[in-house]
Every structure is written in structure tokens, then in C-alpha cells.
Structure 1
Amino acid sequence: MNLQLQRLYDIARKDERRIIGLMSGTSLDGLDVALCRISGSGPATQVSVERFMTLPYNDSLKDDIRTVFAKLEIEFEQLCLLNPYIGRIHGQMVLDCLRIWDIDPGEIDIVASHGQTVYHAPKIQHKRDKFPNATLQIGDGDHVAAITGIITLSDFRQKHVAHGGEGAPLAVYGDYFMFSKKGENRLLLNMGGIANFTYLPADGDASNVFTTDTGPGNTLLDAYARKLLNKAYDENGMLASLGQVNADLLLALKTNSFFDAPFPKTTGPEVFNIRYVEYAQARSNSTDLSAADLMATLVQFSADTIVDAIRRVIRKSEMYRIYMSGGGMHNPVLTQAIRTQLPECTFSQTDELGISGDAKEAVLFAVLANETLAGGATSFGERQGVPSVTMGKVSFPQ
């Protein structure tokens, strides 16, 4: 047997694995690195986060990614060059973290790398009959493995697509394994660039669990923070807190077939971007809004579409606890707009469940890698969009 295959086999047989999960989202703010100890699999998965760090992307890297990010037309050579380049950067970032943490790379079993999403194209969005759902993450796993010297699992979303899913959100798997609790209806609300939630019913039945995107989370807020404030984001929602919601623009923003589509569904900045807002402003005669009023309206847009989606799931006769994660949980204007409309729900952060809300997405990919190595026995039923599959492609260092 090839020695690297033997190493993978031995890791899969271990009672406990040390796995580094990597996540970089559509906000392009940096790479989340979570070092996890994981034992068990499926609903018996046990996770402890030993270390967590976010390494920011510098402006040059952000600019490079934005040349291909969520665009219909790009320079193809740039995409080709960025694929290995980002993989090597992510690999070096892993080594940087391990050096800071004083941990030898030889002590790590697996790196689980999400990569950097540059385009997301579910069939509901691209509307080309002969083509399936599609999504593209770059930052090649072979380069991560070669730089770190650690076996790497990557490109998780393609198996999901291959079995009829949209490639996102993948939180349904990790959330169910880590956070389900018999007797409590839970919604795990992640507010990244795009907002999504996982529904975890109190009966614990995996065939009823699902994750869906709801629409914009921070993607429009951050885009306009860059445009209006020359900042990466509107810190603490300060600009939004000074404005008034424009009802006409809000209605125009909500006029999109995505919001009426059945669950589960996905979307991205390919749809919800500055052009989308400008078109909605033109249709609603609101092009002269102040910066504060525009930001306030965009916050309300994110909040309303999150709430509308959640209301399609919850029953008035039952209690629900919503656990928040992602960058949006730090925006008090956004979170208050959501809480106000869901007074019957109790709100917390995933920190109360033992996983930092900032680290949760990186931890998710460590859990998905663990399931590929040691699990794969959990059935999520035969539903469209929630295939019962294990995910991730293996890259050996040598």
C-alpha cells in the first residue's frame, strides 16, 4: 500500500483526530483557521476547538480576488493563476497559525479546506436547461497539502452538486451532528455575506433537517460600506443607525423570485450586489437617498428576508431557540431588527453551545472532513437538495 494511503487509513481508524478547518467566505475579509479535536461521527460527533484565529487578507489579495469574484466576464488567465496562488497562501497561513500556537505540523492529522468561492450558479439562477447546478471554489487542495505537509481534504461542495444539491449551504450536516438536541427546536442562523439557517427539529429526525439561504446577510452592507465609507464594513451599524428605512426602496429590493422559491435554496453576490440595489432604486425613485437612509434600508432588507424565511418554518404552537453566528451577529442594528419581528423566539449565539460564532463555519469543514474519514452512515432521506453524502477530495503532500 502507498505510504500516504496507509497514513490516511490510520487516521481514519483513530479514536480522535486533530483537524484544521479553513473557511473564507464571500466577505473576502480573511481566512478563518480552527484547530479542532474531533471524536466519533454522525450524531455522536464530539468537537472541541483548541485554537481559532482569523488571518486577514491584505488589500492586494482582496483586489486580486475581486477581479474574478461573482462576475460573468473575467480574464481567464487570472482565474487560472489564482487557483494555485490562493491554495499556497492558505497553506502558508496554516503554517503561520501553527507557529504562533507552537504546534508542529506533524501533530495535525488533516487540513479541511473550503477554498475561496468565486462564483455560485444554482440552476434556479443560471436558468440554462442543459446545465446542472454549479459552484466554484478556488485555492487548490494539492497546493495546501504541498505547503503544509499535511493531508488535505478540499472542494467539499462538488459532491453535494453531483448528487443534486446546489453545493450550499453545507451547514445542515455539521449543525445536525454538533447542535441537535432532543426536545428543543433550534435554528442555527448564520449571517455571513449571504444569510442562511439550519432547522433542527426537536424530534431529532435527520430527514426533517435542512439548511437554506435566506438572501443577503452582510454582502450589500459591506459593499456599500466600501462605497460610502471607504471601510470594510459599517462598524456596529453606526451609519445605518442614523438613517430611516425607505419603504419604496425596501419593497423594490424584496421583489425577486428567489424569495418565493421553495426551501432549500441558495444564492450569492452574483444576484445581490450594487447593480441590484441601483436597479431597485431606479424602479422606486429613490436614487437621491442619503447614505444613512440607504444603509438603514439595506439592513432592514437583510433582516426582513431572514425573518420571512424563518416564519415559513416555525409553528405558533411551538417554542424555538435561534443561535446566531457569522459577522452579522456583531451588527446590533441588524440583530435588533430581527429580534423585534420574532418576539416569540429566544436568541443566543453559538458560543453558548461551545462553538464560537466566528469560528463555526471553519469548524463545520473540519466536521465534514471527519465524517468523510470516519462516518457516512447518517441518512438525511431522499430529498432534493439534502443528499446523504460524504464530501471532500483528498490531496496528499507527496
Structure 2
Amino acid sequence: MNLQLERLYKNAGKDERLIIGLMSGTSMDGLDIALCSVKGNGAETQIRILEFETGDFTDDFRQKIKAIFSKKQVDLELVCLMNEHIANTHAELINDALKRWGYTAAEIDFIASHGQTIFHAPKAQHQLHDYPNGTLQIGDGDHIAVKTGIITLSDFRQKHLAAGGEGAPLAVYGDYLIFSKKDEDRIMLNIGGIANFTYLPGNLNASEIFSTDVGPGNTMMDQYVQKYYDVFYDKNAVIASSGKLNEKLFLALLNCRFFDGEFPKTTGPELFNLNYLASAQKASSTENINKEDVMATLCHFSAETISNSVKKCFGDAAAANVFMSGGGMHNPLLVNLLKAKLPQSVFRSTEDLGINPDAKEAVLFAVLANETLCGSPINFGRRQGVPSICMGKISLPE
């Protein structure tokens, strides 16, 4: 047997595996690096976060990503070069984190890398009937494996596409394995650039659960303040809180066929961006309103689309157990609006379930890798968007 395959087999067979989960989302605020101890698999999965940090991206690196991010027309040479550059940068951040944590590469069994999404194109969005669903994440796994010396799983979303899904959301798999609880219906709400949630039924029936994107989380607010205020995000919603809701713009923002679609569905900044905002302002004759009012309205827009989606599952008087994660949970205006729109629901953080909410998505990819390496098939039913598959391509370091 090839020595690297022997190493793969040996590591996968351990009672306890150390897996680094990586996540860099559409917000591009940095690389989330979660070192996890994982035991078991499937419903018996036990996971602990041993270390976590967000590796900072430089402004130059972030601008290089933005040059090819969420655009129909880009410089193909840059896409080619950034596939390697992103992977090399991620590998450097991993190596630096391991040094700070006091671990050697030999002590880590696997890396689970999401990569950097640069374009997401479900068929419902691109409307090109001769083409399938598509999504593209770059940051090549081979480069990470070679630069760190650690077996790396990456490119998780392509298998989801191949099996008939849209490549997202993938949280359904990890949420089911980590957070399901008998006799308690739960909603795992992640408010990143795009907001999504997983519904976990208390009967633990895998064929009933689903994950879905629901609309913009932070992405439009972040894009707006980056353009007009030269800050990366609206910390503590200071800007949005100083403005007021503009009803005309609010209604124009809600006028989108995406919101009428059935669950599960996916979207991204390819739809919800500053061009979308500009079109809504033109349609509502609100091009000249105060910037603070635009931010307030965008925050109300995110809260409305999230709460409407919860009501779609639980009814107008939704009494859901909602566990939040993602950057949007740190936006006090957004959270207060959600609580006002869903007064019968209980909002908590995944911290209450033993998982740092800022680390959650990175942890989920560690779980996906663990299932690919050690898991048994789980039947999620024959439903669109939730194929019963394992995901991730394996890259060997030598």
C-alpha cells in the first residue's frame, strides 16, 4: 500500500481524530481555523473545539479576492493565480496558528478546507436552461496539504452538485449530527453574508430536516459601509441605529422572486449586492435618502426575510428554539428586530450547546470530513437539495 494511503487509513481509524476545520465566507473577514477533537461518527459524533482563531486577511489580500468575487466577467488569469494564492495564504495562517497553539503538523490528522467561494450559480438564479447548478470555491487542497504536511479534504460542494443539490447550504449535515435533540424542534440560524438556517425536528428523523438560504444577512450592509463609510462592517450597528426605516425602499427590496421559492433554496452576493440595492432605490424613488436610513432599511430587510422564513416553517405565531451563529448575531439592531418579529420564539447562541458560534461553520466542515473518512451512510430521504452523500476531495501531502 502507498505509504500516504496507509497514513490516511491509520488516521481515519483512530478513536480520536484531530481535524482542523477551515471557513472563509462571503464576508471575507478572515480565515476561521478550528482545531477539533472528533470521536465517533453519525449520530454518535462527539466533537470538542480545542483551539479557535480567525486568521486575519490583509487589506491587499482581501482586495485581490474582491477583484474576482461574485462577478460574471473577471480576469481568468487572476482566477487561475488566486486559486494557488488563496491556498498558500490559508496554509501560512494554519502553520502560524499551530505554532501559537503548540502543535506540530504530525499531531494533526486532517484538514477540512471549505475554500473561498468566488461565484455561486444555482439554476433558479442563472436561468440558463441548458446549464446545471454551479458553484466555485478556490484555494486548492493540494497546495494546503503540501504546505502544511497534513492530509487535506477540500472542494466539498462539488459532490453535492453532482448528486443533484445546489452546492449549498451544507450545514444540514453537520447540524443534524451535532445539534439534534430528541423531542425539541430546533432552528440553527447562521447569519453570515447570506443568512441560512437548518430545521432540526425533535423526532430525529433525518428525512425531515433541511437547510436553506433565506436571503441577505450581512452582505449588503457590509458592502454599503465599505463603499460609503470606509469601514469593513457596521460595528454594533452604530450607523444603522442612527437611521430610520424607509418603507418605500423596504417594500422594493422585498420585491424579488427568490423569496417566493420553496425550501430548500440557495442564493448569494451574486443576487443580493449594491446593484440590487440601486435597482430597489430607483424603483422606489429613494436614491437621495440619508445613508443612515439606507443602512437602517437594509437591516430591517435582513430581519424581515429571516423572520418570514421562520414563519413559513412554524406559522405566523412561530414559537421556535432558535440557536444563532455567524457575524450577524453580533449586530444588536438585527437581533432585536428578529426578537420583535418573532416574539414567541426563544433566541440563544450555539454557545449554549457547547460550540463557539463564531467557530460553528469551520467546525461543520470538520464534521463533514469526519463523515467522509469514518462515517456510515445516513439516509436524508430522496429530497431535492439534501442528497445522502459524503463530500470532499482528498489531497495527500507528499
1:240 maps to what in 2? Answer: 240
The offset of 1:128, in angstroms, is 1.2
The offset of 1:315, in angstroms, is 4.6
| TM-score normalized with structure 1 length | 0.99
Amino acid at match of 2:46: Q
Q: Is the 8 A contact 1:26 1:219 kept in 2?
A: yes
Q: Counterparts of 1:333 and 1:317 in 2: how far apart (Å)?
A: 21
Amino acid at match of 2:17: R
Q: Is the 8 A contact 2:311 2:317 kept in 1?
A: no
Q: Counterparts of 1:257 and 1:318 in 2: how far apart (Å)?
A: 23
1:226 maps to what in 2? Answer: 226
* Identity %, equivalent residues: 55
2:206 maps to what in 1? Answer: 206
1:191 maps to what in 2? Answer: 191
Amino acid at match of 1:66: K
Amino acid at match of 1:291: K
SS of aligned partner of 1:196: strand
Amino acid at match of 2:124: I
Q: How does 1:1-398 map to 2 (within 5 A)?
A: 1-315=1-315, 319-398=319-398
Q: Counterparts of 2:2 and 2:251 in 1: how far apart (Å)?
A: 60
SS of aligned partner of 2:324: strand
Point out where structure 2 has 5 or more consecutive residues left out of the alignment. Answer: none
Q: Counterparts of 2:323 and 2:199 in 1: how far apart (Å)?
A: 11
Q: Counterparts of 1:52 and 1:160 in 2: how far apart (Å)?
A: 27
Q: Counterparts of 1:254 and 1:316 in 2: how far apart (Å)?
A: 18
1:23-56 deviation digits (Å, cap 9, x = unpaired) = 0000011100000000111111110000000011
Q: Counterparts of 1:173 and 1:197 in 2: how far apart (Å)?
A: 12
Point out where structure 1 has 5 or more consecutive residues left out of the alignment. Answer: none
Q: 1:236 to 1:387 in 2, by over 3 A?
A: same
The offset of 1:319, in angstroms, is 4.3
The offset of 1:228, in angstroms, is 2.1
Q: Counterparts of 1:318 and 1:300 in 2: how far apart (Å)?
A: 19
The offset of 1:274, in angstroms, is 0.4
| TM-score normalized with structure 2 length | 0.99
The offset of 1:376, in angstroms, is 3.3
The offset of 1:172, in angstroms, is 0.1
SS of aligned partner of 2:391: coil
Q: Is the 8 A contact 1:113 1:154 kept in 2?
A: yes
1:64-108 deviation digits (Å, cap 9, x = unpaired) = 011110001000000000001111111111100000101111100
Q: Counterparts of 1:316 and 1:300 in 2: how far apart (Å)?
A: 18
The offset of 1:12, in angstroms, is 1.6
Q: Counterparts of 2:10 and 2:61 in 1: how far apart (Å)?
A: 37
1:101-134 deviation digits (Å, cap 9, x = unpaired) = 0111110000000000000000001111121111
The offset of 1:199, in angstroms, is 0.2
Amino acid at match of 2:279: Y
Q: Is the 8 A contact 1:339 1:347 kept in 2?
A: yes
SS of aligned partner of 1:296: helix
Amino acid at match of 2:169: P
Amino acid at match of 1:102: G
Q: Counterparts of 2:7 and 2:317 in 1: how far apart (Å)?
A: 52
1:327-377 deviation digits (Å, cap 9, x = unpaired) = 000000001111101011111000000001100000000000000011032
Q: Is the 8 A contact 2:122 2:132 kept in 1?
A: yes
Q: 1:316 to 1:201 in 2, by over 3 A?
A: farther
The offset of 1:320, in angstroms, is 2.1
1:273-302 deviation digits (Å, cap 9, x = unpaired) = 001101100000001110110000000000
Q: Counterparts of 1:163 and 1:194 in 2: how far apart (Å)?
A: 23
Q: Counterparts of 1:264 and 1:304 in 2: how far apart (Å)?
A: 18
The offset of 1:137, in angstroms, is 0.3
Moved more, 319-328 or 168-177: 319-328
Q: Is the 8 A contact 2:310 2:318 kept in 1?
A: no
